[in-house]
Amino acid sequence: MSGSILVVGVGINNRPLLNYFGDRGVPVVAADRMAPEQYQGPLDPRVRWCFGPDYLEQARRFGPYEEVYLTPGMIKRQPGVLALLQNETRLTCETDLFLKNCPAPVIGITGSAGKTTTTSLVGAILRQDGSRPVYVGGNIGESLLPELSRISPDSWVVMELSSFQLELTDTSPHGAAVLNLAPNHLDIHPSYEAYAEAKSHIFQHQSSSDWLVLPEPPPPLLVPALAQHQGRRLGFGVGEPVSRGAYAADGAIRWAGGGAERTVMPISEWRLPGRMNLRNACAATTLALAAGARLEAVREALSTFTGVPHRLEVVREHGGVRYVNDSIATAPDRTLAALEALEGPLIVILGGYDKHLDYAELGRALTDRVRVAVVLGETGPAIARAIGPGPMVLEAKSLEEAVVLARRQAREGDTVLLSPAAASYDMFRNFEERGERFRTLVHDLDA
């Protein structure tokens, strides 16, 4: 690389880029809206730093750039970013750099819901198989870029990939899955169609030797992009058989492939609740078996998997009331899945940052399914308006107040569910912080 590069945003995803390019002697400029004193850690002397509200204007003075790496979640075509693009400047991201340079085959997993559970499960199956070293990362945790020197061609890499990470990629993983598709992040993507287009990058650049896992039938918005897909196609589902892949029906998870069907395991041995989690298990089974894992490894990993924090996580039972943390539900479809998964009377805590999503369908489900809804945050009023007559609707100014109100209304046998159907940014840094705060509040309830 002959020119300099610009890294816009130096949070979790982008910070490894500074070392990556610095170690290779590439001139690096880093720009971030934060103040210098907010940066955690020493300032790398190899990097030119641009901090503060005018960070993009500062960065322009050091251009032109060969490549501009944007932080995930940033609106890509805003004026300040477009002003950085001169001549042949390439707008890209850390994920694409990793995919281009990773020596091992990569399994990439995306979707509007279930990404983390499925990614964790595929990683668990491949580790149980034991035939190759396994690396798991991407949107699920820290960047895998610092691991490049340790990843060998005979490893497996499993990555959770968000629409933000995929939007600027022109490289696709060797194996890919799109679990589902529902409107999300419309505060960043200009439309549902643009969101779907970003997701489709996970398979648009695959070759004939690659493979793609999709629900049967596939999401309609992906069908146009699938017309150009060159790789193998596999499926997964619940209730109905698939032509090639894993599905759950008649009390068992089954694998259809190679001209014969095999039973993976009884559904009764799968520990996570709800139809969506069963679909995640089938998707993970398809991905792992397509990668060459042993059926016995799939069975062992599925039967011992207990889930991922903040995803229908039972926090405790207190006074005959069960408290469940589903803070991962940052969009209505996630909360709809939680309502379907849980049985018995429900008190649901909802609301948060406004991503410009539609709450009409969720409102109808809440009307039919919950006894009490406690709403808060920017989207609280919109969710309250969407709920029809029947459930009690209470408004809270904070999560602390919401837990107090929920506890006051709870009866023995109820479940208090935190499933916000909205992002956390109006009150918390992320959904993990929100879920951890809910855990603390619940554990602090007095007898």
Number of domains the chain contains: 3
Query: Does 321 share its domain with 224?
Result: no
Query: Does 88 share its domain with 174?
Result: no
Residue 177 pLDDT: 98
CATH number of the domain bearing residue 54: 3.40.50.720
Q: What is the DSSP letter of 353?
A: B
Residue 1 pLDDT: 60
Query: Does 162 share its domain with 191?
Result: yes
Residue 124 pLDDT: 98
Query: Does 87 share its domain with 101?
Result: no
Phi, psi of 199, rounded to the nearest 5 degrees? -60, -40
How far apart, in whole angstroms, are the C-alpha atoms of residue 438 and residue 432? 10
How far apart, in whole angstroms, are the C-alpha atoms of residue 327 and residue 349? 10
Q: Which helix (H) or strand (E) holds 18?
A: helix 15-23
Query: Does 65 share its domain with 157?
Result: no
Of 45, 61, 92, the one marking the end of a domain is 92
Runs of H (alpha helix) within 85-171 = 94-101, 115-129, 163-166
Query: Does 130 share its domain with 203?
Result: yes
Of 73, 92, 111, the one marking the end of a domain is 92
Query: Does 347 share its domain with 422?
Result: yes
Of 304, 327, 353, the one marking the end of a domain is 304
For residues 340, 342, 348, 349, the Cα torsion angle rounded to the nearest 10 degrees is -90
Query: Does 296 share its domain with 342?
Result: no
Domain of residue 354 covers: 313-443
Q: Which helix (H) or strand (E) holds 335?
A: helix 332-341
Report mean pLDDT in 10-residue bins for the chain, 447 residues. 86 90 96 93 94 96 94 88 88 97 98 96 98 95 92 98 96 98 93 97 97 96 95 96 96 89 96 94 98 97 95 94 96 95 96 96 98 98 97 98 98 98 95 97 87
CATH number of the domain bearing residue 362: 3.90.190.20
Cross-strand partners of 245: 235, 256
Query: Does 258 share its domain with 381?
Result: no
Contact 103, 159 (CB under 8 A): no
Query: Does 300 share its domain with 351?
Result: no
Query: Does 46 share its domain with 136?
Result: no
Query: Does 298 share its domain with 359?
Result: no
Residue 145 pLDDT: 96
